[in-house]
Amino acid sequence: MKFGKTPLKEAQGAILAHSMRFGDLALAKGRKLNRADINALRAAGIDEVTAARLGINDVGEDAAAKRIAAACAGKHISRDRAETGRVNLNAGKRGVLIYDRACLDRLNRVHEAVTCAGLGPGVLVEAGRMVATVKIIPYGVPEKIVSKCQKAAGAKAPLLSVAPLRALKVGLIQTTVAKTSEKMLTKTARVTAERVTFLGGRIVREVRMAHERGAIADAISGFKRREADLIVVAGASAIADRRDTVPAGIEMAGGRIAHFGMPVDPGNLLLLAYLADGRPVVGLPGCARSPKFNGFDLVLGRLFAGLSVDAADIMAMGVGGLLQEIKSRPRPREG
C-alpha cells in the first residue's frame, strides 16, 4: 500500500486519508475518490490530497477485518458487518467466553496492522454482548498478513467461542457448631440460591448437620446422581487444610480432592473435589456467604457451562484474580 501526498491527477480510486471540507464540499476520510470528487476538489483549488492506494496484493481494511473475524468466530459467536476496518464479535448465547490467551497473543503479534481485543476468558456474558473486536489499523493490509492472521486465529479451532449455561440441579449442605446462628444459615441458603438461580439452575435440597466428617459424608452420599448435578458445602468454619473436616467428609463419601486454595481474592479458601461418578463438590470459602462477587462465582460459572475445572484451571485464575464488584451481580454488596 502506498500512502502520502497524492496529486489529483493520480488520486482517482485512492482512499482519502483525512476528512476534507471546503464550503459545500465535504469528503469523509476513508472515501474512495471518484471522478466527481476529483473534479470538485480541483474546482476548490486543491491540487493534491493525502491518500492511500492499495497495491495488487493488498486487501482493503473492511475485507481484511471480515476475513480475520470469521476465523476468530467459533460456536455461539456472531459478527457485525465490517465498517471502517472493524468487525465486532458478539455472544450468540448466554454463557462463558472461552479462548486461549496464547492464541490471541499470537494473532496480535503477526503485524501491527491487525489488532484483536477481547473480554477476559472465563467471563460470563449475556447474549448479544460484544466479546471481541477486530480492527485493521491502516486502510489496507498485504494478503500474506491477512492469511497469516487467519491461520493464527483458527490454527486448531476458531479462537473465540461461548459455552452456554446448563440448568443444573444443586444440592446445598450446611454444617453447624454450637455458636452457629440460624440467621447466618438462612442468609447463606438465600445467597447461594440467588447465585444458582442467576445462572439458570436451582437448589433441589438443603441439608443441615453437625460439623463432623461422618455427617458430611452421609449428607453427600444422600444426594443421588439424578437429584443433584453439583453439591456445595458451606462449613461452619473455614477450611484450613486438605485434612480438615469438610475435605475429610468428602473423601469419606468416596470423593477426590482436586484442589484446595485459589489465587483469587475474595475466595482464596475454596476447595474443589469430584465424586467417583464425576459430580463436582465445592467446599465454599467464607466469602461465599455474601453476594459480593468472589472466586466461587468464577468456578460456579465454569461448572454451569460444562467446562473443565481442575487444579490447573484454578491456578490460572490469578491474572484478574483480585476482584472488584461488577454490575452483573443480581444483588449489591452487603455491609
Phi then psi dihedrals of residue 54, to 5 deg: -75, 140
Task: Tell me how far apart the alpha carbons of residues 227 and 214 are, in angstroms, rounded to a whole number.
Answer: 21
295 Cβ contact partners less than 8 Å away, ≥ 6 residues apart? 262, 264, 265, 266, 267, 268, 270, 285, 287, 317, 321, 323
Closest CA to 289 of 211, 226, 233, 330: 233
Q: Is pLDDT of 129 > 70?
A: yes
Task: Tell me how far apart the alpha carbons of residues 91 and 95 are, in angstroms, rounded to a whole number.
Answer: 8
Domains of the chain (ranges, CATH numbers): 2-53 (3.90.105.10), 58-164 (3.90.1170.30), 169-318 (3.40.980.10)
Q: Is pLDDT of 112 > 80?
A: yes
Q: What grid cell was written down for 123? A: 467471563
pLDDT at 327: 61
Task: Tell me how far apart the alpha carbons of residues 305 and 170 are, in angstroms, rounded to a whole number.
Answer: 14
pLDDT at 154: 86
**How large a percentage of the chain has pLDDT more than 90?**
87
pLDDT at 1: 85
Instruction: Report residue 43's pLDDT band, with 50, 70 and 90 as the boundaries.
Output: confident
SS3 state at 25: strand
Q: Is pLDDT of 94 > 50?
A: yes
Contact 282, 300 (CB under 8 A): yes
Alpha helices in the chain (DSSP H): 35-43, 61-72, 101-108, 143-153, 182-198, 213-222, 245-252, 295-304, 311-315
pLDDT at 330: 55
Q: Is pLDDT of 335 > 70?
A: no
Closest CA to 268 of 301, 302, 230, 315: 315
pLDDT at 45: 87
Task: Tell me how far apart the alpha carbons of residues 170 and 282 are, in angstroms, rounded to a whole number.
Answer: 11
Instruction: Report residue 44's pLDDT band, with 50, 70 and 90 as the boundaries.
Output: confident
Q: What is the mean pLDDT of residues 271-296?
A: 97
- 123 CA to centre of own chain: 3
Q: What is the mean pLDDT of residues 268-279?
A: 97
Task: Tell me how far apart the alpha carbons of residues 18 and 29 are, in angstroms, rounded to a whole number.
Answer: 4
Q: Is pLDDT of 118 > 70?
A: yes
Whole-model pTM? Answer: 0.89
177-198 tens-digit pLDDT: 999 999 999 999 999 999 999 9
Task: Tell me how far apart the alpha carbons of residues 93 and 99 are, in angstroms, rounded to a whole number.
Answer: 16
205-253 tens-digit pLDDT: 999 999 999 999 999 999 999 999 999 999 999 999 999 999 999 999 9
pLDDT at 133: 98
